[in-house]
Amino acid sequence: MGWDFSDKIAVVTGGAKGIGRAITEKLLSYNTTVIIIYNNSQENAENICKAAENAGRKAYAIRCNVTNPSEVKNAFEYIEKTFKKLDFLINNAGITKDNLLIRMKDEEWLDVVSTNLNGVFYCTRSAVKLMLRKRYGRIINISSIVGISGNPGQSNYAATKAGIIGFTKAAAKEMGGKNILVNAIAPGYIETDMVSVMPEEFKTMILGNIPLHRYGTPEDVAGLVCFLLSDDAGYINGAVVDINGGIL
């Protein structure tokens, strides 16, 4: 199954690594023009762009720290100047800085909020300005199962991922009338660096609770993203779609 996104321009934040990379590659396979926003993963981003070019696809990379409102503004101004429009935004960039609430440092709280929540706001605000011009847009925000269920040691992360759900629902109500649909995805445990750093006993416990007896793959999430971006999902707006193997 696949879609033809050959007339679409997409931005994927954190699109050079992990889930974001799988989203970038799946979008490229459907002929989307993809702009990767990366912060530190320059080499990955350049390799993806080169591989895309060799395969006759179009991928571009912009270095931009999503926590910085002026860098985000500049990045989207560049996109407007270069590509003239924007169809898809996937707000995927995110970090964890886990600690028990009682030990959590201000910096751990603020860094996670800046990246996971402020970053989504800055990118969405810039993207919708562009999307409004064509009265078309699809925005997918990557939340988390942890934003729904909570998780010890992740009060900062859970707060931001729950915040993304509220943000998504409000934006969907504001923008739906302009044909800009906004949805969130709440992945469970997906095999990336974010999960590989979790303690082994925790990983074993989680695996035992997943009815499908496996972690999700970045490609599982990418497939769902592409469905939500497609016309087949044209009546889905303000939704939070679980993808967790049945653990919740």
Contact 62, 55 (CB under 8 A): no
CB of residue 29 to ligand NAD, shortest distance in Å: 18
Closest CA to 122 of 183, 173, 76, 186: 76
Residues near ligand NAD (CB under 6 A): 13-14, 16-20, 37-41, 65-67, 92-95, 115, 119, 142, 144, 187, 189-190, 192-195
Minimum CB distance to ligand NAD smaller for 132 or for 210: 210
Measured distance CA(12)–CA(229) in Å, rounded: 13
Outline where 55-154 has alpha helix (H): 69-83, 106-113, 119-134, 146-149
CB of residue 202 to ligand NAD, shortest distance in Å: 12
Residue 149 — left, alpha, or beta (φ > 0 → left; ψ -120 to 50 → alpha)?
alpha
Measured distance CA(57)–CA(76) in Å, rounded: 21
Minimum CB distance to ligand NAD smaller for 132 or for 206: 206
Q: Cα-atom radius of gyration of the chain, to the nearest Å?
A: 17
Measured distance CA(98)–CA(117) in Å, rounded: 16
What is the H or E stretch that residue 243 is in?
strand 240-243
Catalytic residues: 157
Minimum CB distance to ligand NAD smaller for 16 or for 61: 16
CB of residue 19 to ligand NAD, shortest distance in Å: 4
Minimum CB distance to ligand NAD smaller for 28 or for 190: 190
Minimum CB distance to ligand NAD smaller for 80 or for 219: 219
Closest CA to 236 of 125, 139, 155: 139
CB of residue 103 to ligand NAD, shortest distance in Å: 21
CB of residue 160 to ligand NAD, shortest distance in Å: 8
